[in-house]
Amino acid sequence: MKQDERITSDFSALRLSRAPQSKTVLTPLASATAGAVASVSPPAPSGSLLNTSTSAHSSPAHSTTPKSQNRSSSAKFTPLALPPPLPELNPMHGEFKFDKKPTPNDFEMLQVLGTGTFGKVRLVRHKASGKFFAMKILRKTTVCQLRQAQHIRNERRLLLQYANHPRIVHLYGTMQDAEHLYMIQEYVAGGEIFSHLRKKGNFQVPTARYYAAQIVLVLEHLHANNVVYRDLKPENLLLDANGQLKITDFGFAKEVPDVTFTLCGTPEYLAPEIILNSGHSKAVDWWALGILIYEMIFGFPPFFDDNPFRTYEKIVQLRLPFPRTIDPAAKDLIKKLLKKDKTERLGCLHGGTADVKNHPFFRGVNWEALLLGTTRAPISPVVRSESDTHNFEEYAEEDDGPDQEMVANMSSEPGPDSDPSCFADF
């Protein structure tokens, strides 16, 4: 079989799903294993964290089961120029505020919109105002058992801080009760880019360019504030009713002025320096953008395998397959973003984000209009009402307890993140 055919047929199973639990959260325990990825091919020993956090039933992108049943150096960064101040907010954001801190009883809980590694997101109706929101609900014990308290606190703080960015999902507030944490977000009704992509198979280059450019604007803003996002993937990119992109899930976002070593992300989107645990920073987002543009154009990511360990191997070996001819500028950009050495990666060079924006792939892009979402979007989702959920998959009402395999492999050492009282300010 020719290489091209093999790649295409391998990916036929990918069209449907990616496991919600495909997100990788690795503690330093895994780093030794991860460090071996470059040279060792056998699967991780059963029970190792690296294996577990991405193991078969929480396996990556290649299952044929629907998503609902199955599946987040020293680089020489020159300080980036601050992006221009944000334009007037989307008026929808400004117009609603809760009079007082809401409580869970103030909301009617409706359909599940999505499930993630640490909780679920529901459509909810605020009883007093009749307004609809998306509520991310996390069980405190799960968050603590999986040592994610710091990540959740970061998510809350950063979403509040960047709530005014037109391309970042708006967080209206947070609340808690004895068992759960709640994040009240704007409901982005057009569905995940992931679903649109799987439905279409792949995007035309102009569509990929449109959404890639909107992501560049988000990364530009976050990076200028030393925030690395770390979980770029089509599941975290939503379309509003006008087809404009909104990025959600700041669960792994973090202020990183220099480098960090926490190993987290989603297998197919991990940069080599995360897998090799050599310290990572903003460069991982530019790598992930390269993966995303590739996945949008071809319909599947460049590096994947049923065995996540081999996915990591393919990433660090950087055998970048181009299964068919594509737009030369797109190919050139992907190659420049998927540089193994982060000091050579576009976005991390002297020109910073401007190098990415000035790449020929983005020629002709009206950045300001894209930021505001005032240009006509390439996808027009059908949204019939404020509470229409048909763009989201249907999810079974199941227990929101933690993945026991993941818990079993987390360190049992008590730490600041293992005590539910650490959410005092939520």
Ligand X SMILES: Nc1ncnc2c1ncn2[C@@H]1O[C@H](COP(=O)(O)OP(=O)(O)OP(=O)(O)O)[C@@H](O)[C@H]1O
Question: Among 10, 99, 231, 419, which one carries the catalytic annotation?
Answer: 231
Q: Is 307 in the site for Mg ion (CB under 5 A)?
A: no
Determine contact, residues 256/228, Cβ cutoff 8 Å. Answer: yes
- Least separation in angstroms between CB 44 and Mg ion: 24
Which element (helix H / strand E) includes 24?
strand 24-26
Query: How far apart, in whole angstroms, are the C-alpha atoms of residue 376 and residue 304?
Result: 33
Q: What single-letter amino acid sits at 188?
A: V
Q: Is 63 in the site for Mg ion (CB under 5 A)?
A: no
Query: How far apart, in whole angstroms, are the C-alpha atoms of residue 373 and residue 366?
Result: 10
Cα Rg, the chain, nearest whole Å:
20
Determine contact, residues 326/4, Cβ cutoff 8 Å. Answer: no
- Least separation in angstroms between CB 237 and Mg ion: 10
Q: Is 192 in the site for Mg ion (CB under 5 A)?
A: no
Cβ neighbours of residue 229 closer than 8 Å, sequence gap 6 or more: 218, 219, 222, 247, 250, 252, 253, 285
381 binds, among ligand X, Mg ion, none (CB under 5 to 8 A by kind): none
Which lies closer to Mg ion via its Cβ, residue 155 or residue 240?
Answer: 155
- Least separation in angstroms between CB 206 and ligand X: 24
Q: What single-letter amino acid sits at 409?
A: N
Site string for ligand X, 175-204 (x = CB under 6 A): ----------xxxx---x------------
Query: How far apart, in whole angstroms, are the C-alpha atoms of residue 72 and residue 112?
Result: 18
| Known active-site residue 177 | no
Residues in region 228-247 near Mg ion by CB under 5 A = 236
CA angle 34, 40, 44 (to 5 degrees): 60
286 binds, among ligand X, Mg ion, none (CB under 5 to 8 A by kind): none
Q: Is 238 in the site for ligand X (CB under 6 A)?
A: yes
Q: Is 147 in the site for ligand X (CB under 6 A)?
A: no
| From 26, 34, 75, 121, residue interacting with ligand X (rule: CB under 6 A) | 121
Which lies closer to ligand X via its Cβ, residue 134 or residue 406?
Answer: 134
- Least separation in angstroms between CB 161 and ligand X: 17
Q: Is 267 in the site for ligand X (CB under 6 A)?
A: no
Determine contact, residues 252/151, Cβ cutoff 8 Å. Answer: yes
30 binds, among Mg ion, ligand X, none (CB under 5 to 8 A by kind): none
**Shortest Cβ contact with ligand X: which residue?**
116
Query: How far apart, in whole angstroms, are the C-alpha atoms of residue 412 and residue 415?
Result: 9
Residues facing residue 133 across a β-bridge: 124, 186
Q: Is 116 in the site for ligand X (CB under 6 A)?
A: yes
- Least separation in angstroms between CB 136 and ligand X: 5
Query: How far apart, in whole angstroms, are the C-alpha atoms of residue 35 and residue 32?
Result: 5
Q: Is 58 in the site for ligand X (CB under 6 A)?
A: no
Longest dimension (CA), the chain: 65
Q: Is 268 in the site for Mg ion (CB under 5 A)?
A: no
Cβ neighbours of residue 183 closer than 8 Å, sequence gap 6 or more: 135, 136, 138, 155, 156, 159, 171, 174
136 carries a ligand binding annotation: yes
**Shortest Cβ contact with Mg ion: which residue?**
249
| From 77, 107, 118, 395, residue interacting with ligand X (rule: CB under 6 A) | 118
Q: Is 235 in the site for ligand X (CB under 6 A)?
A: yes
Strands 171-176, 119-126: pairing kind: unpaired
| From 249, 273, 285, 393, residue interacting with Mg ion (rule: CB under 5 A) | 249
Classify 322 as helix, strand or coil. coil
Q: How many CB atoms lie within 10 A of CB 2?
A: 7
Which residue numbers are catalytic? 231
State the residues that interact with Mg ion by CB under 5 A: 72, 116, 236, 249
Annotation: binding site: 136
State the residues that interact with ligand X by CB under 6 A: 20, 23, 72, 113-114, 116-119, 121, 134, 136, 169, 185-188, 192, 235-236, 238, 248-249, 251
